């Protein structure tokens, strides 16, 4: 299997970091094609925990080549901070390169992210405030600066100063706030421009040539399908395409390069930020899942909203991503419930709903239709084979498969690399 895309099947935080890290050992190249520092992948390696945001999760494998593709919102501050933290910890590190076509996140994007959120009042999206939306706004508006612009320092300085002037007009006139310090931002970013040079490549050529040479490529998704700007629960979404199509565009190659799509799917559902969530449990069961699963944002520390597994979401995600297999994660978290619910479909105004609706009003009015399964009431975190799983756990996994319409190929029973049960090799 030459290449694999790893997508989040829900609203992000599905435990992709662990699965990617587990599989990255088999990859020659790991590519990120969307999102930016808004992502939060926690990877446990050698007994140590690493929080990665922008840097691909394959970095901890010494032999890997890691790519930040053209579709990523590239934050140089976050990039250097993460590299420094890894070096300080003495983490094993592969090679890393950034696309010359990636758009740059500047400090004014973060300021504007916060100002737009404030302006939305009670209708705020609950963004990570990492400047992702405003950076992609500039890209789509065709006024953004790209990594290649950093290669000519004088030219970069001029372009950046003009952008800061422009943003300051928005900050002052639209929001009535104090302008940002042009000199300070320019000098900081010029310093990043000086340091970035050794990492910059036409990474699309690297990905293409690696594929042609038969190398194994892993496309690493950030966030999840339900946060996709087109396919997610708009407007409570991120500003990129965290779906398999977005990964290849964001890597600068065609979709034919992806042969397998692994949908990383939590054994239950979580969401950070706002927006309807049909299987949400605003009760002691939700609180219990949150505490056992330690469901607090890796990027923002916010408590995540928790609920039962949503088969409608899983089916939708499988369809829009062409998911060929599921990696079911955090299954160990459900080890102390007498019964467990699985949502098979929605009901809207007494009608059965086959497909995930576009209108948030409809989604908010949807009622989950559950199937109740027996819990396994056991610690499965030490189980390493399918055969050794309790019968009730196997039944739950088969019910997930049925609901999603896709086979569960990997089961994760804990954060460590070794806490992984492989039912079918995917890579
Ligand atoms: P933004 O990506 O910071 O603009 O935030 C937009 C929405 O996406 C918010 O609801 C965030 O909480 C959510 N979001 C962004 N990145 C992640 C992630 O990595 N995991 C889960 N939610 C995310």
Q: Which of 41, 53, 103, 109 is catalytic?
A: 41
Is the pLDDT at 240 greater than 70? The verdict is yes
Residue nearest to atom 12 of ligand 1 (CA): 273
Give the domain-ending residue among 196, 219, 253: 196
How far does the centroid of ligand 1 lie from the alpha carbon of residue 109, in Å? 15
Across 61-68, average pLDDT? 93
Each residue's pLDDT tens digit, 91-149: 889 999 999 999 999 999 999 999 999 999 999 999 999 999 999 999 999 999 999 99
Q: Is residue 376 part of a domain?
A: yes
Determine the structural domain holding residue 184 and report its residue range: 103-196
Q: Is residue 39 part of a domain?
A: yes
Which ligand 1 atom is at minimum distance from the Cα of 227?
A: 8
Q: What is the CATH number of the domain that holds 360?
A: 3.90.170.10
Q: Are 229 and 73 in contact (CB under 8 A)?
A: no
Is the pLDDT at 1 greater than 70? The verdict is no
Higher-confidence position of 156 and 61: 156
Is residue 89 located within the same domain as residue 230? yes
Is residue 223 located within the same domain as residue 178? no
Across 242-254, average pLDDT? 98
Is residue 21 located within the same domain as residue 108? no
Is residue 278 located within the same domain as residue 407? yes
Q: Which of 13, 28, 228, 332 is catalytic?
A: 13
Rounded CA separation 233/55 (Å): 26
Residue nearest to atom 20 of ligand 1 (CA): 12
Q: Is residue 139 part of a domain?
A: yes
Is residue 269 located within the same domain as residue 363? yes
How far does the centroid of ligand 1 lie from the alpha carbon of residue 35, in Å? 9
Residue nearest to atom 15 of ligand 1 (CA): 38
Domain count, the chain: 3
Write down the pLDDT at residue 298: 74
Write down the pLDDT at residue 50: 82
Rounded CA separation 222/240 (Å): 10
Q: Is residue 128 part of a domain?
A: yes
> Cβ < 6 Å from ligand 1: which residues?
11-13, 38-40, 125-128, 130, 132-133, 222-223, 227, 236, 238-239, 272-273
Q: Is residue 241 part of a domain?
A: yes
Is residue 18 located within the same domain as residue 62? yes
Supply the mean pLDDT for the chain: 95
Question: Residue 48: beta bridge partners?
Answer: 45
Which ligand 1 atom is at minimum distance from the Cα of 272?
A: 12
Give the domain-ending residue among 149, 166, 196: 196
Is residue 223 located within the same domain as residue 274? no
Is residue 181 located within the same domain as residue 207? no
Q: Is residue 389 part of a domain?
A: yes
Write down the pLDDT at residue 270: 97
Is residue 205 located within the same domain as residue 235? yes
Q: What is the CATH number of the domain that holds 33?
A: 3.40.440.10
Split at pLDDT 50, 70, 90, the class of 49 is confident
Is residue 140 located within the same domain as residue 175? yes
Q: Is residue 10 part of a domain?
A: yes
Each residue's pLDDT tens digit, 13-45: 999 988 988 898 899 999 999 999 999 887 777
Among 37, 128, 232, say which to mutate for ligand 1: greatest number of ligand atoms within 8 Å of CB. 128
Is the pLDDT at 58 greater than 70? The verdict is yes
Identify whether 41 is a catalytic site residue.
Answer: yes
Identify whether 53 is a catalytic site residue.
Answer: no
Across 56-69, average pLDDT? 92
Is residue 295 located within the same domain as residue 416? yes
Give the domain-ending residue among 218, 244, 261: 261
SS (H, E, C) the chain: CCEEEEEECCCCCCCHHHHHHHHHCCCCEEEECCCCCCCCEEEEECCEEEEECCCCHHHHCCCCEEEECCCCEECHHHHHHHHHHHHHCCCCCCEEEEECCCEECCHHHHHHHHHHHHHHHHHCCCCCCCCHHHHHHHHHHCCCCEHHHHHCHHHHHHHHHHHHHHHHHHHHHHCCCCCCCHHHHHHHHHHHHHHHHHHEECHHHHHHHHHHCCCCEEEECCCCHHHCCCCCCCCCCCCCCCCHHHHHHCCCCCHHHCCEEEEEEECCEEECCCCCCCCECCCHHHHHHHHHHCCECCCCCCECEEECEEHHHHHHHHHHHCCCEEEEECHHHHCCCCEEEEEEEEEECCEEECCCCCCHHHHHHCEEEEEEEECCCCCCCCCCCCCCCCHHHHHHHHHHHHHHCCCEEEEECCCCCCCEEECCCCC
Q: What is the CATH number of the domain that holds 124?
A: 1.10.300.10
Is residue 151 located within the same domain as residue 247? no
Rounded CA separation 136/140 (Å): 6
Q: Are 295 and 270 in contact (CB under 8 A)?
A: yes
Each residue's pLDDT tens digit, 321-345: 999 999 999 999 999 999 999 999 9
Across 226-253, average pLDDT? 97
Q: Is residue 427 part of a domain?
A: no
Each residue's pLDDT tens digit, 270-285: 999 889 999 999 999 9
């Amino acid at each position: 299997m030459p290449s694999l895309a790893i997508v989040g099947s829900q609203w992000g935080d599905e435990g992709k970091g662990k699965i990617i890290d587990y599989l990255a050992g088999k990859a020659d190249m790991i590519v990120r094609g969307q999102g930016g520092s808004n992502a939060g992948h926690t990877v446990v390696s050698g007994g140590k925990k690493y929080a990665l945001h922008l840097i691909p999760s394959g970095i901890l494998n010494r032999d890997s080549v890691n790519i930040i593709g053209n579709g990523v919102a590239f934050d140089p501050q976050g990039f250097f901070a993460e590299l420094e933290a890894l070096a300080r910890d003495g983490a094993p590190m592969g090679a890393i390169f950034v696309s010359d076509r990636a758009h740059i996140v500047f400090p004014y994007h973060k300021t504007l992210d916060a100002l737009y959120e404030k302006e939305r009042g009670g209708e705020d999206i609950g963004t990570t405030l990492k400047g992702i939306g405003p950076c992609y706004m500039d890209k789509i508006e065709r006024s953004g600066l790209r990594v290649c612009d950093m290669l000519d320092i004088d030219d970069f300085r001029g372009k950046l100063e003009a952008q800061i002037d422009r943003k300051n007009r928005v900050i002052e006139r639209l929001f009535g706030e104090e302008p940002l310090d042009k000199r300070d931002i320019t000098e900081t970013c010029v310093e990043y421009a000086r340091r970035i040079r050794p990492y910059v490549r036409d990474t699309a050529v690297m990905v293409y040539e690696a594929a042609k040479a038969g190398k194994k490529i892993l496309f690493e998704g950030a966030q999840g399908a339900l946060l996709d700007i087109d396919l997610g629960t708009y407007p409570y979404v991120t500003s990129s395409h965290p779906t398999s199509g977005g990964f290849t565009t964001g890597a600068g190659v065609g979709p034919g390069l992806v042969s397998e799509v692994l949908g990383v799917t939590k054994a239950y559902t979580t969401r950070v930020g706002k927006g309807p969530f049909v299987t949400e449990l605003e009760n002691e069961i939700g609180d219990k899942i949150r505490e056992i699963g330690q469901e607090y944002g890796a990027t923002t520390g916010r408590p995540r909203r928790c609920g039962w597994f949503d088969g409608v979401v899983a089916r939708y995600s499988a369809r829009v991503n062409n998911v060929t297999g599921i990696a079911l994660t955090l299954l160990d978290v459900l080890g102390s419930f007498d019964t467990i619910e699985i949502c098979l479909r929605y009901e809207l105004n007494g009608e059965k709903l086959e497909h995930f609706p576009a209108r948030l009003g409809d989604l908010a009015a949807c009622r989950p239709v559950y199937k109740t399964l027996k819990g396994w009431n056991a610690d499965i975190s030490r189980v390493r084979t399918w055969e050794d799983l309790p019968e009730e756990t196997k039944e739950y996994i088969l019910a997930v498969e049925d609901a999603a319409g896709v086979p569960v190929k990997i089961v994760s029973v804990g954060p460590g690399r070794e806490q992984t049960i492989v039912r079918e090799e995917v890579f």
